[in-house]
């Protein structure tokens, strides 16, 4: 087998890891499979009064709670 071609089976995003596969050039058999790490969120402040951030990539929300910690909500 000759493996040079990598194909992305699942794209990584903010919430999930992805996967990529190396295929044989001749017979297309899967030779290797690797995990693609999650990407980072891209937070943007959307409301100052309640300190709310929205992720521009996945639509997730990060809110500051009354105890000073953070609450996260993802679609």
pLDDT for residue 9 is more than 90: yes
Domain residue spans of the chain: 3-36, 43-73
pLDDT of residue 50: 75
Going 9 to 38 to 43 to 64, the CA torsion angle's sign is positive
pLDDT of residue 2: 81
Is 1 or 32 the better-scoring residue by pLDDT?
Answer: 32
pLDDT of residue 75: 78
CB 59 within 8 A of CB 72: no
Alpha carbons 69 and 37: distance in angstroms, whole number: 26
- For 14-54, write each residue's pLDDT tens digit: 989 999 999 988 888 899 999 999 999 999 999 877 789 99
């Amino acid at each position: 087998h000759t493996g040079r071609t990598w194909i992305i089976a699942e794209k990584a995003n903010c919430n999930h890891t992805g996967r990529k596969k190396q295929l044989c050039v001749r017979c297309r058999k899967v030779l290797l499979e690797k995990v693609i790490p999650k990407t980072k969120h891209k937070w943007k402040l959307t409301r100052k009064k309640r300190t709310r951030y929205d992720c521009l990539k996945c639509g997730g929300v990060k809110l500051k709670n009354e105890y000073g910690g953070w609450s996260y909500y993802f679609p």
